[in-house]
A and B are shown apart, each in its own frame.
Chain A
Amino acid sequence: MTAAEGPVPAGPGPAGPAAAGPGPAGPVLDVRDLHVRIASRMGTVRAVDGVSFDVAAGEALGLVGESGSGKSMTLRAVLGVLPAEARVTAGEILLDGVNLVTRTQSELNRIRGPKLAMIFQEPMSALNPVMRVGRQIAEGPQVHLGFSRARAAERALELMRRVGIPDPERRFRAYPHEFSGGMRQRVMIAIALSCDPEIILCDEPTTALDVTIQDQILRLLARLCRESGVSLVFVTHDLPVVAQICQRVAVMYGGQLVERGAVGDVLLDPRHPYTRGLVRSAPDFDYVRDSLVPIPGAPPSLITPPPGCRFHPRCEFAEEDCRVSETPLRMLPGGRATACLHWERCLEAAAADRAQA
């Protein structure tokens, strides 16, 4: 069992047992070699190309990447809500050992509420604007847990209190548009929690929020994870946000995973040039560098990706073998994994960065 203590006090050096990954009970979610293809007029888009990760009970895993990295598609594949043109073409998604890829829609429906929930970036479009908020929260327990209307309403009120919505009795009958952005996000969290899921998938839930509200929501999520032992998969492009709420992080690029490990480790001692590039190009509040170093080049085409390592056209450590050989994720000691063939050089460069800062 991983320590569900909230963010790990980080610093350079090996991570503690909190980063070891799934415990003896096995992971709650185990994604193995997932491939998602999207049919488009210009060809087949390899949106997710061989992604594997797992999430232990009570753990928060961050999935970090920029637009086009495939992180949102991965989440949608897990939840089973891929757009019509997209399909899972290979791989397994094991939720408590059950492979979701082979389930039918009705089977998935039975699993989704109680075990698996999702919160989205834009609460206004994820909430039904013409349905009262209380009813939306109560719907899950009624459908999946067979609660009576009264009991479901009770539960909804209790959840509203838990997520910090003031005056829940009155707010129960309100409509989504009567809430502020932060409050709507809390409603979404309440809906997600309504059937006591084992894992909640979060697709950039705080990106659209103000800093102070984001702070509130992140702390709320961290607290809820601690209290109820629910796992999180948290997708974002914002590195400090991942650092605040997750114990482990997986970095995605061009539809593939390029690095994985404890969040403090990965962000401070990146072992993949892309991760290092992300860290160096984002202005960090605490370390004001002389100049930001952007990542040269542009994201790869997912229809005709570069051969070998997808990052090599933009990589300063690239060599012949990067262009030629496949670069699957390779395990390193300390629960880390990287797809880079020359990760040692990257690590050295990252250490030099830190020495300068």
Chain B
Amino acid sequence: MTAADGADQASALLAARGVTVSFPVGSQLAARLRHEERLLRAVDGVDLEVGRGEALALVGESGSGKSTLALALSGLRPADKGKVMLNGKTLPARRSNADRRRVQIVFQDPYSSLNPRMTVGGMLRELLRVHQVVPRNQVAEESKRLLTLVGLPAEAVSAYPRQFSGGQRQRVAIARALALRPDVLIADEPVSALDVSVQATILNLLDSLRSELGLSLLLISHNLAVVRHLCDRVAVMYLGRIVEVAPTEELFGTPRHPYTRGLLAAIPRLVHDASSAGAPAIAGDPPSPLRIPAGCRFRTRCPMAQQRCAEEDPVLAGAAQAPGHLAACHFAFASAPPAASGLARTADQS
């Protein structure tokens, strides 16, 4: 089942190749007058692999395209360009049920991801029956098993979502995602809407499910502490592109892309050193996705932007000295990165 291209794909379970997802925006005429693109490229040519049994984090801020990429990978929003592959096989835009089952998704907002008019049991039973996951007479049994798996009492089967707290609802959402026995679970900011002390229960749950069931996990988060705790590898996105991918500790220990470095410096810490006073890690606002800068898209905020960065768009590439570590910066693996150039403008962007 190896794919035709790339030896590293041998173990990749879910892969994206050159995926682009765009949204048409506004009136074409007005856009042309303003020299803007008619398309908002939420995801702009992304290559990504999720290996079997691994936990990959997709990190980025708002506008990075991470949620849109998740939708594309789960088949909810077909990619406009590029392809999504499962076990080396390219998936068509309209997936078959068998393929759909393999990739399931848990959403961020526990209050809108459950149908208020259906009982928990109803939701689970419907999925189990439509996909014939188990024989009809075992459906009720299986529903209860799923709930127990996520730590909810079996009686919850007849309850409506409004009777649950936020954390419990997320468990229901996870149970629902697991009902179809997926190979890959995509979790889009699964704990952002929850209280701090409840987040831990969901994170622990995801961790234990991963080891118990051998699931692959694609975790989308803006919280790097959560990522460091849970994931094996991290991919950083900025304005629709992946700018760096590396194993977790390698990324946090030796970040090679200036955006990653800035992101890490921006995280508030419990313990401070002198660097916490002074200039912010990354100044300015991200550019509008409708006017992505030519060349390297990060150059407008990059402390070491050079002339070359405006002319050449860096490719996500690695280097021999750091296996498994890819970065999209001309100076990512340079032994002596250029000094601060001041070429970045912290000008108004909107």
With both chains docked as a complex, state the minimum distance between the C-beta of A19 and any C-beta of chain B, in angstroms. 14
Interchain CB contact under 8 A, A219 and B269: no
- B281, A212: Cβ atoms closer than 8 Å: yes
Please measure, in the bound complex, the distance between the C-alpha atom of A218 and the C-alpha atom of B281, giving whole angstroms.
Answer: 11
Give a binary string over A196-217; 1 marks a CB under 8 Å from any B CB, 0 the rest: 0000000000000011111110
Q: A215 to B228, alpha carbons, bound, how many Å? A: 19
**B270 near A240 (CB under 8 angstroms)?**
yes
Q: Is the CB of A167 within 8 A of B262?
A: no
B272–A294 CB distance below 8 A: no
Q: Is there an interface contact between B280 and A283, defined as CB atoms closer than 8 Å?
A: no
Q: How far, in angstroms, from A281 to B204 measured CA to CA in the complex?
A: 10
Decide: A6 near B197, CB < 8 A? Known: A241-B268, A243-B268.
no
Chain B residues whose C-beta falls within 8 Å of the C-beta of A210 in the assembled complex: 61-62, 222
The answer to whether residues A285 and B267 also contact, given A166-B348, A212-B281, A244-B272 and a CB cut-off of 8 A, is: yes
Residue contact B200 to A294, C-beta cutoff 8 Å: yes
The answer to whether B201 and A294 touch across the interface, beta carbons within 8 angstroms, is yes
Interface centre among A213, A285, A295 (most CB of B within 10 A): A285
Chain A residues near B274 (CB-CB < 8 A)? 9
Contact indicator B268/A218 (Cβ below 8 Å): yes
How many residue pairs link A and B with beta carbons under 8 A? The number is 146
B223 CB → nearest A CB, Å: 8
Q: Are B204 and A240 in contact (CB under 8 A)?
A: no
A294 pairs with B197, CB closer than 8 A: yes
CB pair A286 B349 closer than 8 Å:
no
A218 and B278 CA atoms in complex are apart in Å by 11
Partner of B271, one of A286, A289, A292, A294: A286
Q: Which residues in B have their C-beta under 8 angstroms from that of A179?
A: 350
A239 lies within 8 A of B270 (CB): yes
Docked Cα-Cα span, A286 to B204, in Å, equals: 18
The answer to whether residues A219 and B278 also contact, given A285-B224, A292-B229 and a CB cut-off of 8 A, is yes
Q: Given A215, A243, A268, which contacts B266 in the complex, CB threshold below 8 Å?
A: A215
Q: Given the known A-B contacts A210-B62, A212-B282, A285-B269, are A293 and B200 also in contact in the complex, defined by CB atoms under 8 Å?
A: yes
Note all chain A residues with C-beta closer than 8 A to B149.
Answer: none
Picked from A214, A286, A295, the residue with its CB within 8 Å of the CB of B197 is A295
* A249 CA to B199 CA, complexed, in Å: 22
Contact A243 B263 (CB under 8 A): no
Interface size on B, residues (CB 8 A): 47
By a CB distance below 8 angstroms, the chain A residues around B62 are: 181, 210
Contact digits for A270-303, partner B, Cβ 8 Å, 1 yes 0 no? 0000000111011111101101111100110000
**Is B347 close to A, CB under 8 A?**
yes
* Chain A residues closer than 8 Å to B285, beta-carbon distance: 180, 182-183, 213
Asked if A291 and B204 make an inter-chain contact with CB atoms under 8 angstroms apart, the answer reads yes
- Does B203 lie at the interface of the complex (its beta carbon under 8 Å from any beta carbon of A)? yes
| Residues B266 and A211 in contact, CB atoms below 8 Å apart | yes
CB <8 Å contact, A167 and B165: no
* A212 and B263 contacting across the interface, CB-CB below 8 Å: yes
Mark contacts of A8-19 with chain B using CB atoms, 8 A cut-off: 1 yes-contact digit, 0 otherwise. Answer: 111100000000
A11, A211, A282, A299: the one within 8 Å of B222 (CB): A211
**A232 contacts across to B, CB distance below 8 A:** none
CB of B198 within 8 Å of the partner chain: yes
B-facing residues in A235-281 (Cβ within 8 Å) = 237-241, 243-244, 264, 267-268, 277-279, 281
Instruction: Check B276 against A7 for contact (C-beta < 8 Å).
Output: yes
Interface hits, B244-279 → A, CB 8 Å: 262-263, 265-274, 276-279
CB-CB nearest in chain B for A170:
B348
Q: A122 at interface (Cβ–Cβ under 8 A)? A: no
Q: B281 contacts which chain A residues (CB < 8 A)?
A: 212, 215
Q: Mark contacts of A74-85 with chain B using CB atoms, 8 A cut-off: 1 yes-contact digit, 0 otherwise.
A: 000000000000
Q: Residues of B contacting A181 with CB < 8 Å?
A: 62
Contact of B225 among A67, A167, A278, A283 (CB under 8 A): A283
Residue of B165, B196, B225, B272 contacting most chain A CB atoms (<10 Å): B196
A171 within 8 A of B: yes
Query: Does B5 reach chain A (CB closer than 8 Å)?
Result: no
B197, B262, B282: the one contacting A281 at CB < 8 Å is B197
Inter-chain contacts of B123 with A (CB < 8 A) = none
Structural contact, A180 and B349, CB atoms closer than 8 A: yes
What total of chain A residues lie within 8 Å of the partner, measured CB to CB? 56
Taking a contact as CB atoms under 8 Å apart, the answer to whether B271 and A243 are in contact is yes
Q: Do residues A9 and B266 form an inter-chain contact, with CB atoms below 8 A?
A: no
Contact status A283-B203, CB under 8 Å? yes
Q: Is B226 an interface residue (CB 8 A)?
A: yes
Given the known interface contacts A178-B350, A298-B165, the answer about A268 and B196 at a Cβ–Cβ threshold of 8 Å is no
When each residue 97-121 of chain B gets 1 if its CB lies under 8 Å from chain A and 0 otherwise, what string results? 0000000000000000000000000
Say yes or no: A237 contacts B61, CB within 8 Å: no
Q: Is B85 an interface residue (CB 8 A)?
A: no
Query: Is there contact, CB below 8 Å, between A7 and B277?
Result: yes
Please measure, in the bound complex, the distance between the C-alpha atom of A205 and the C-alpha atom of B230, giving whole angstroms: 28
In this complex, what residue of B is CB-closest to A242?
B268
Q: Do A244 and B276 touch across chains, with their CB atoms under 8 A apart?
A: yes
* Chain B contacts for A9, CB-based, 8 A: 272-274
**Docked-complex contact A214 and B282, CB < 8 angstroms:** no
Does B346 sit at the interface, judged by CB under 8 A? yes
A294→B198 contact, CB < 8 A: yes
Q: Please state if A215 and B268 are interface contacts (CB–CB under 8 Å).
A: yes
Given A215-B282, A219-B280, A240 and B269 touching (CB < 8 A)?
A: yes
Return chain B residues, CB-CB under 8 Å to A268: 270-271
Which B residues are CB-close (under 8 A) to A66?
195-197
Given A244-B272, A267-B270, the answer on whether A216 and B283 have CB atoms closer than 8 Å is yes
Contacts of B225 in A (CB 8 A): 240, 282-285
Q: How far is A239 from B266 in the complex, measured between Cα atoms in Å?
A: 15
Instruction: Please tell me if A60 contacts chain B, counting CB pairs below 8 Å.
Output: no
Closest partner residue, chain A, to B205 (CB atom): A294
Q: Nearest Cβ distance between residue A22 and chain B, in whole angstroms?
A: 23
Q: Which of A67, A268, A283 has the most CB of B within 10 A?
A: A283
Q: In the complex, given contacts A238-B268, A282-B200, what are 9 additional A-B residue pairs having Cβ atoms less than 8 angstroms apart? A: A5-B277, A7-B277, A215-B281, A216-B282, A281-B199, A283-B229, A283-B230, A294-B198, A295-B197
| Chain A residues in the interface with B (C-beta under 8 A) | 5-11, 66-67, 166-167, 171, 178-183, 210-216, 218-219, 222, 237-241, 243-244, 264, 267-268, 277-279, 281-286, 288-289, 291-295, 298-299
Write 16 A-B pairs (CB below 8 A) sorted by A numbering.
A8-B272, A212-B282, A216-B283, A219-B278, A240-B269, A241-B268, A264-B271, A278-B196, A282-B196, A283-B199, A283-B225, A283-B230, A284-B225, A295-B197, A295-B200, A299-B195
